A = this chain, B = another copy of it.
Amino acid sequence: MIYVIYDISDDKIRKKVSDKCLNYGLLRIQKSVFAGNLNKNRIDELRVFCENIIEENDKVYIIEVCEKCFGKLICIGEEFDKELVNDSKKTMVL
């Protein structure tokens, strides 16, 4: 399971990163936060993609969590569908 969280000032660049996350099957859980399952290669591809387009003060953090850590997630306010996020593993395999 991974979370992708970013602070990107330029709208066009930010859109490219969010489109890439959607394209990889990640789910948007907050404005600048995506979650889902990506294999090691995809994570590297995403890292290289972001390295090539973000600007100096921009930040993209990819937080990888094990199933146990994912289970300890606390959602306050509007929740997201944890099953769906975790299921993205199945959609990846099909």
Q: Name A's B-contacting residues (CB within 8 A).
A: 3, 5-7, 29-33, 43, 47, 50-51, 54-66, 68-69, 72-80
Q: A5-B33, A6-B30 are in contact. Are A76 and B64 (CB under 8 A)?
A: no
Shortest distance between the CB of A75 and any CB in chain B (Å): 6
The secondary structure that dominates the A interface is mixed
Contact B59 A76 (CB under 8 A): yes
- Residues of B with C-beta under 8 A to A74: 43, 47, 61-62, 64
Closest Cβ–Cβ distance, residue A2 to chain B (whole Å):
9
* CB-defined contacts of A64 to chain B, threshold 8 Å: 69, 72-74
Question: Can you show 25 pairs from A to B with CB atoms below 8 A apart?
Answer: A5-B33, A7-B30, A7-B33, A30-B59, A32-B32, A33-B61, A43-B74, A47-B76, A51-B76, A51-B77, A54-B76, A56-B78, A57-B78, A58-B77, A58-B78, A59-B75, A61-B76, A62-B73, A62-B76, A63-B69, A64-B69, A65-B65, A65-B69, A66-B69, A69-B69
